[in-house]
Structure 1
Amino acid sequence: MKLIQSSKTHPQVKTLLAYATSEKKVEKEYSLYIACPERLLYGYTFEQDIVGCIGIVKREANQCEIKHIAVSPAYRGKGIGREMIRYVEEHHVFSSIYAETDQDAVIFYKNNGFHITSLGEKYPGVERFGCLLTYTT
């Protein structure tokens, strides 16, 4: 894993972010990672290729929000998403990690120890879920 800090969007990162957000928002989201010190974007590399990324925002009270997490389709199901979350856990001290997602990723977060709560239909016809992982001291 490596921190991505280049002001120019890497094509592989752009593709990965498009999986996690709309293609129209990729450049805007990427620029926020570069401009905001509380936002961090990490890339997961395999044989010189970036095949996964996780973007987080550090919040108050040592809380973290996963803004984006994506793995290239050819590498899905190999534990890369889990490894990226573990990397964040090991390299930062957070009291909790939060993510908001759709139905497609609920099982992924649940399998990684997150508590899942329905947020209802935030967009017409789309149920969203809050996923929270808390740490006890």
Structure 2
Amino acid sequence: MREINSIRVDDPAIKRLLSYATSEEKVDEEYNKHICSPNRKLYSDGINGEIISCIGIEIHNSGDGVIKHIAVLPKERGGGIGSSMIRFIWKEHNLNSISAETDKDAVLFYANFGFRITSLGEKYPGVERFLCKLDLK
């Protein structure tokens, strides 16, 4: 049975998942931003008590959401879990739009969901970044 839950306590499983979406050095900092900031939310998705994915968003007063992190355990990828988490935050927060900044590895995931993709160029030396945006209303 799958369940999506809001995270508000220190959870090593979530931090492990966040390490897939950000650098190891920034995991604690990013986790704390989600826990302490009123406009950030962090959710986990689990199967039979095992946490398999998480999504962290920042919600703006305009009803726009920014995906800050999305991560799925490698063994669970490709089964629609990431997409179901995006649909969950969209409905849970009645968002007007969702955006995310990502690297080349995740562009296809967002494009397949229907996001418009715009290159931001080489934002870091040797690393092209992309803005992915989905208008919902």
TM-score (norm 2): 0.95
Match of 1:43 in 2: 44
SS at match of 2:27: helix
SS at match of 2:94: coil
**Runs of 5+ unmatched residues, structure 2:** none
Are 1:69 and 2:70 matched, yes or no?
Answer: yes
The alignment of Structure 1 onto Structure 2 pairs a total of residues equal to 134
Match of 1:102 in 2: 103
Q: Distance in 1 between matches of 2:136 and 2:56?
A: 20
Q: Distance in 2 between matches of 1:42 and 1:15?
A: 14
SS at match of 1:81: helix
Q: Distance in 2 between matches of 1:81 and 1:36?
A: 23
Q: Distance in 1 between matches of 2:51 and 2:83?
A: 16
Percent sequence identity over aligned pairs: 52
Match of 1:3 in 2: 6
Q: Distance in 2 between matches of 1:69 and 1:135?
A: 19
| 1:1-137 alignment runs, 5 A limit | 1-6=4-9, 8=10, 10-136=11-137
Aligned-pair CA distance for 1:61 = 1.1
Aligned-pair CA distance for 1:95 = 1.2
Structure 1 segments (4+ residues) deviating >2 Å: none
Q: Distance in 2 between matches of 1:73 and 1:102?
A: 17
Letter in 2 for 1:5: R
**What do you get for the CA RMSD once the two structures are aligned?**
0.7
SS at match of 2:134: strand
TM-score (norm 1): 0.95
**Runs of 5+ unmatched residues, structure 1:** none
SS at match of 1:67: strand
Deviations 1:51-75 (A, max 9, x none): 0000000013111100000000010
